[in-house]
Structures are given as structure tokens and as C-alpha cells.
């Protein structure tokens, strides 16, 4: 592999926001331990996940591909000046960082820093097709537009009465709602809408499957192919079960509908996602010890509705992985996925189990540009001894957070369907709050059992405090940001946030003597609201504790040097004909990665 390039920075602007910048960070991936056969498997899997990215783009905003093609046309114009080309390239970087014209945090579009009249002139030089595209997307370049809650999952004129009229179609995760000529609405499976594009994905999955020697992994790929051909609930569940059970070092997550964060309207419809991973088995020893204690966590948990028995076969399977490539919902700036609990199907999680993945190399890459700087800015000097443990502490919290998603049950009156059926738009933030608090609540139990040191527990709590402070910089509109906003304000209400003045700046800490009591009480409240499907109670709690923080301007100023948004640049395997080579290299720009060149198949 060629030398790892430097981190690149790009400035950008959103209406009503301070100028910001994004960091584009090379990710270290080690292909050297792969056999020739496994290298070919990995290469085909990477091409499969890259091919699914245009589905995500269409689900978010179908104009993304139009904008990219339009900007690339302008970059080819000899009349486009050097500074204009730099501005257009910067816009492309952010467009691909977000995988759409819109950010999820803050929820609005990115502005183009070239005057309208000049863009019109350039479009005229590029030809009639470019002019037509500009007329379609110009408002995204220059106007303040909120990120749509519907994304592209629902018709623009969709109303609550339409949702009721959907009946059983309302909760089909892997679908889009369309309106017929007669005005009625119905859901169409993604596997029907995107059939041509999924055929290309399936071709790569088949090529990998024909080389795989691990029987369980080959059965998983077989099931995944059937899922992408049919989209049936049964096929999705079979694929989920096969994924949970395989123990291959090589892994892939791929789906037309996975996490539901893009559906900010009802938190029901999932978005296309793909990732290729290598298990880091040496790093899983600690995590395995944590999983063994899940029955104890369930027994001692503060919430009311607990699993009476915990089947050892259904305990979460923890995978500490390095990411070789990811696309779709994994690429939604400015967020970076640190860990993940899958699958999301409640029937599967209760009857088969779950997998909790902690992402190692991508999280380490991100920490290079954020972690230490945040700690130095906000920690009191007597906490600086924890800085070297922050990465490990944050990784631990991410793992515990994902395990938290697998605990507890709904009460008997709400035991059918999914929790989101009852909580609707309140579900995602409530579930993320519950998992964040679980990650804090477990720490003293792990110290008591000698699994982690008290220093690592302190670093995990302190790292989470930095996460809370970072979230206060934004309006509480995205699920994770909403969760962290509410937790901070609850801690503040209970005087758990400790402030000290050092060198003219406010430094923050958590009250170590009382934090566990506060976490336990709030976790019980949140978990019981979820278990009861109590949407009114969730609304009341949100309205009391979730609000734009008055420190936002100060926090923005103190973190102005930190990049908002981290684009990850993965090394590309080189090819000789159809054969993948062990050599890899990095592209010169984030947007030049092959994943962003894919478009929907006709």
C-alpha cells in the first residue's frame, strides 16, 4: 500500500450557521493477512456495497446524482477559473460527505459560494442539459432549505390521514410509499423499485459466495441474495439469523433498508446501507467478558419490565471490526457511526439474538482530529491524566451502548409489533437515550467484577461528557443529538454537571459521587416509557428537558477549530482484469472514491 496521505480540510457554509470545515481522513486498512482466495472475496464484497450506494441517494434525495454530474460538467469547462474549480470541488466533497445535498446536523443544505449569474453563465457554456439541471437544483445551491423529514420515502403531499389509510403497509421497513393516479397511497418494496440496481449488487455477492470456504458465511450470502431478490419479511429474517450465527473473519452488512434515522417522519422506513469488515479477534476478549454478564445486567437493571430468562444462545455477539469499505447510511455527514447493534427486527432479536459491532480503525481515524483537542479545551487540568485513555473509554461506551439496545422488553400490553409502532416519531431519540444511559449505568458493575479498571470507567464517563457538550452545539433534531441534549439537561437539573473556571474558561466534569444515582433514575424513567409505548410521556419528557442550549454560541466558538463532518477515505484494492491484487492505494480526493461514481441502473 502506498504511503497514507495527509488529512485534508474543506470549508463550507450553511444558511444561518457559522462557517465550518470538514476533515477528510484516510483510514488504515490491513489486507496483508488475507489469503489469495479471501482477497477476491473481500474485493467482490466491496464492489457489492459500493453498488448499493445510489439506492441510498435516491431514498434521501434523487437530485444528488444530477448535482454531481452537473458539477463535474462545469469542472471540465476551460472557461471555469481555477478558483471556481476549487469552489466546485469543495462543494462536491461536502455533497458526497453527506451523500445528499442535505446535512443531518444541522438539518439543512450546503450553500455554493459562486454567484447565481456566474453559475448560469457556466451552465449555458456546458449546454442545454446543464441549463435544465441548474433550473432544477438551483434552490439547493442558494436558498435556506430544511432537510426534509419525509426524505424520498413518502409523496411530498403526504398527510397523517394517508398514513392511517396505508393500513398494514404503514410499517413495511423496506418500502417506499407512492400515490396512485386515483389519489390513494400504497407501499412498494425497495426490491421492486430498485430491482435493476440490486441485480448488480447480487452479481458481486454471488461472485464472493462462489469463493467462500466458510459454510455458515456462504449460507448467509445465499440468504442475503434471496432477500435482495424478494424483499419478503421471511427472507429478511432468514438472512438476519444467518448473519448472527456465522463466525467468519470476513463480514458484510448490506441491505436496502437498515437503520430508520433517515425517516424523520415516523422512524419506520430504513435506508440502504453497506459495509465490509474484518474481525479483530484479539480485541474481542474484553467484549466477550462483558457479554457474559448481560444476564446480570438484566437482573439488576432499574427498569420495570425485564426478561425473566436470558437464553445464553441469544446473548449479543460482539464483533470488534476494522472497516474496509462502507456506503449508504454509513456515509451521512457530519455523523460518523462508532458502533452498531443489529438486526433491528424485534422478532429476530428476541428469538435468535443480536450482533454488536464496534468499529475500530474508522473510530481511531476520527479521534485523530477531534478527541484530544476537545479534552484539552473542556477538561479541568486534574482530568488530563485521562486523555490517553479516552479512545479506549469511548470504544467501551460504544460497545455498552449497543448492548443496551438488546436489553429489556415491552410490557405485556405492547408486546406485539415494534416499539416504533407505538412511539412513532418519539421512538428513535428515546431508544438512543436509553442505550446511552445503559452504557454509563453498567460501568461500576464492570469495575466491581474486575473487568475494567476504575480509571478506564472514569475515562469512559469523561469521554461521554465531551460527547454531550459537542451535541449542545446543535438544535436537538437528530436522534443521537436529541438523546444527548436531554441527558445533559437532566444531569444539569440534578447538579451532576460540575463547572470550574481555569485560565478564564469554564471546564466541565461529572460529579463522581452522584452520577450513578442520576443515571439509574433517568434510565428507569426512559426504559419504562419505552416499554409502555407511552408516547404522551415521551413528549412530556422531551418538552421539559430537550431544548436549544443557551451555551451554543460559546461552545461553537470554543470548538471552531474542530471539523464538523469527517469524510473517511478508504484504500482501493488494485485490479488486474477481474482479479483483485494485494496492493492498494488512496485516491487524491474523497469524492473520487469509486462508491460515488455509481448511479441507479435503468
The residue written with cell numbers 415516523 in the block is: 266
- Residue 278 CA to residue 69 CA, distance in Å, equals 33
pLDDT at 1: 47
Half-sphere exposure of 115 (CA within 13 A, CB side): 3
Contact 462, 379 (CB under 8 A): yes
Digit-coded pLDDT (tens) for 401-443? 989 998 999 999 998 888 989 999 999 999 999 999 999 999 9
Digit-coded pLDDT (tens) for 237-254? 999 999 999 999 999 999
Q: What is the mean pLDDT of the chain?
A: 94
At CB < 8 A and 24+ separation, what contacts does 411-417 make?
411/304, 411/305, 411/531, 411/532, 411/533, 413/532, 413/533, 414/531, 414/532, 414/533, 417/171, 417/346
Contact 518, 302 (CB under 8 A): no
Rounded alpha-carbon distances, angstroms, from residue 331 to 168, 273, 285, 422, 553: 31, 9, 29, 29, 27
185-189/175-179 β-pairing: antiparallel
Q: Looking at 387-450, list the stretches that DSSP marks H as alpha helix, in order from N- to C-terminal side.
A: 390-404, 419-423, 427-441, 443-448
- C-alpha grid cell for residue 544? 421539559
Torsion over CA: 415, 416, 419, 423 (sign)? negative
- Residue 347 CA to residue 418 CA, distance in Å, equals 9
Q: Looking at 168-214, list the stretches that DSSP marks H as alpha helix, in order from N- to C-terminal side.
A: 190-193, 195-209
From start to end of 13-60, where are the E strands?
20-26
Digit-coded pLDDT (tens) for 313-365? 777 788 889 999 999 999 998 989 988 989 999 899 888 988 989 899 999 89
According to DSSP, residue 8 is labeled E
Looking at the DSSP bridge assignments, the partners of residue 572 are 585
- Residue 198 CA to residue 213 CA, distance in Å, equals 24
The residue written with cell numbers 447493534 in the block is: 341
- Residue 141 CA to residue 110 CA, distance in Å, equals 7
Contact 566, 588 (CB under 8 A): no
> Which stretches in the chain have pLDDT values below 70?
1-2, 282
pLDDT at 2: 57
- Residue 182 CA to residue 47 CA, distance in Å, equals 40
Nearest partner of 397 among 529, 290, 300, judged by Cα: 290
- 427-441 and 479-493 helices cross at what angle (nearest 10)? 60
The residue written with cell numbers 497514507 in the block is: 4
Contact 507, 380 (CB under 8 A): yes
Show Cβ contacts of residue 544 under 8 Å, excluding neighbours closer than 6 positions: none
- Residue 236 CA to residue 241 CA, distance in Å, equals 9
Rounded alpha-carbon distances, angstroms, from residue 144 to 15, 65, 107, 118, 209: 5, 20, 10, 20, 46
Contact 331, 271 (CB under 8 A): no
- C-alpha grid cell for residue 104? 443531518
Nearest partner of 322 among 255, 258, 276, 289, judged by Cα: 276
Burial letters for 319-334: b for 16+ Cβ neighbours within 10 Å, e otherwise? bbbbbbbbbbbbbbbb
pTM: 0.84
- Residue 323 CA to residue 568 CA, distance in Å, equals 10
The residue written with cell numbers 390521514 in the block is: 161
Show Cβ contacts of residue 12 under 8 Å, excluding neighbours closer than 6 positions: 19, 20, 21, 22, 90, 91, 94, 110, 111
317-328/355-359 β-pairing: parallel
Amino acid at each position: 500500500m502506498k504511503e497514507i496521505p495527509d488529512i485534508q480540510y474543506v470549508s463550507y457554509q450553511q444558511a444561518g450557521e457559522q462557517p465550518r470545515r470538514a476533515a477528510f481522513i484516510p483510514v488504515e486498512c490491513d489486507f496483508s493477512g488475507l489469503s489469495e482466495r479471501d482477497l477476491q472475496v473481500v474485493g467482490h464484497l466491496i464492489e457489492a456495497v459500493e453498488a448499493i450506494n445510489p439506492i441510498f441517494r435516491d431514498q434521501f434525495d434523487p437530485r444528488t446524482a444530477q448535482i454531481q454530474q452537473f458539477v463535474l460538467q462545469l469542472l471540465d469547462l476551460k472557461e471555469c477559473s481555477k478558483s471556481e474549480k476549487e469552489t466546485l470541488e469543495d462543494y462536491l466533497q461536502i455533497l458526497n460527505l453527506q451523500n445528499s445535498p442535505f446535512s443531518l446536523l444541522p438539518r439543512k443544505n450546503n450553500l455554493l459560494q459562486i454567484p447565481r449569474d456566474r453559475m448560469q453563465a457556466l451552465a449555458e457554456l456546458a449546454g442545454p442539459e446543464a441549463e435544465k439541471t441548474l433550473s432544477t437544483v438551483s434552490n439547493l445551491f442558494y436558498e435556506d432549505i430544511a432537510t426534509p423529514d419525509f426524505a424520498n420515502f413518502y409523496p411530498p403531499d403526504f398527510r397523517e390521514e394517508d398514513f392511517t389509510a396505508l393500513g398494514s403497509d404503514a410499517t413495511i421497513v423496506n418500502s417506499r410509499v407512492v400515490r396512485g393516479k386515483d389519489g390513494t397511497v400504497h407501499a412498494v418494496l425497495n426490491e421492486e423499485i430498485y430491482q435493476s440496481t440490486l441485480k448488480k449488487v447480487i452479481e458481486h455477492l454471488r461472485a464472493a459466495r462462489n469463493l467462500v470456504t466458510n459454510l455458515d458465511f456462504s449460507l448467509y450470502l445465499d440468504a442475503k441474495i434471496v432477500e435482495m431478490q424478494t424483499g419478503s419479511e421471511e427472507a429478511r429474517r432468514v438472512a438476519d439469523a444467518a448473519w448472527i450465527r456465522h463466525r467468519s473473519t470476513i463480514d458484510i452488512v448490506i441491505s436496502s433498508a437498515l437503520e430508520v434515522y433517515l425517516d424523520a417522519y415516523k422512524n419506520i422506513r430504513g435506508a440502504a446501507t453497506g459495509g465490509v469488515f474484518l474481525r479483530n479477534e484479539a480485541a474481542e476478549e474484553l467484549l466477550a467478558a462483558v457479554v457474559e454478564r448481560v444476564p446480570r445486567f438484566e437482573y439488576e437493571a432499574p427498569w420495570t419490565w425485564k426478561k425473566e430468562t436470558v437464553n445464553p444462545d441469544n446473548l449479543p455477539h460482539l464483533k470488534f471490526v476494522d472497516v474496509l469499505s462502507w456506503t449508504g447510511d454509513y456515509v451521512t455527514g457530519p455523523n460518523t457511526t462508532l458502533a452498531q447493534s443489529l438486526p433491528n427486527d424485534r422478532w429476530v432479536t428476541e428469538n435468535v439474538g443480536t450482533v454488536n459491532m464496534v468499529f475500530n480503525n474508522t473510530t481511531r481515524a476520527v479521534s485523530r482530529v477531534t478527541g484530544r483537542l476537545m479534552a484539552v479545551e473542556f477538561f479541568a487540568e486534574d482530568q488530563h491524566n485521562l486523555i490517553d485513555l479516552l479512545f479506549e473509554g469511548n470504544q467501551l461506551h460504544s460497545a455498552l451502548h449497543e448492548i443496551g439496545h438488546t436489553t429489556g422488553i415491552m410490557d405485556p400490553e405492547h408486546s406485539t409489533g415494534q416499539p416504533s409502532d407505538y412511539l412513532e416519531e418519539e421512538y428513535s431519540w428515546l431508544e438512543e437515550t436509553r442505550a446511552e444511559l445503559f452504557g454509563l449505568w453498567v460501568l461500576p458493575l464492570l469495575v466491581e467484577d474486575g473487568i475494567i479498571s476504575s480509571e478506564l470507567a472514569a475515562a469512559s464517563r469523561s469521554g461521554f461528557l465531551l460527547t454531550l457538550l459537542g451535541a449542545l452545539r446543535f438544535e436537538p433534531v437528530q436522534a443521537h443529538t436529541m438523546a444527548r441534549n436531554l441527558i445533559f439537561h437532566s444531569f444539569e437539573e440534578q447538579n451532576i454537571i460540575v463547572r470550574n473556571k481555569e485560565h478564564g474558561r469554564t471546564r466541565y466534569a461529572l460529579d463522581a459521587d452522584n452520577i450513578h444515582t442520576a443515571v439509574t433514575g433517568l434510565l428507569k424513567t426512559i426504559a419504562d416509557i419505552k416499554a409502555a409505548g407511552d408516547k404522551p410521556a415521551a413528549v412530556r419528557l422531551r418538552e421539559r428537558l430537550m431544548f436549544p442550549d443557551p451555551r451554543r454560541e460559546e461552545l461553537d466558538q470554543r470548538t471552531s477549530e474542530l471539523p464538523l463532518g469527517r469524510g473517511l477515505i478508504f484504500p482501493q484494492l488494485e485490479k488486474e482484469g477481474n482479479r483483485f491484487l494485494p496492493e492498494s492505494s488512496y485516491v487524491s480526493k474523497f469524492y473520487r472514491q469509486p462508491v460515488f461514481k455509481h448511479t441507479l441502473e435503468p
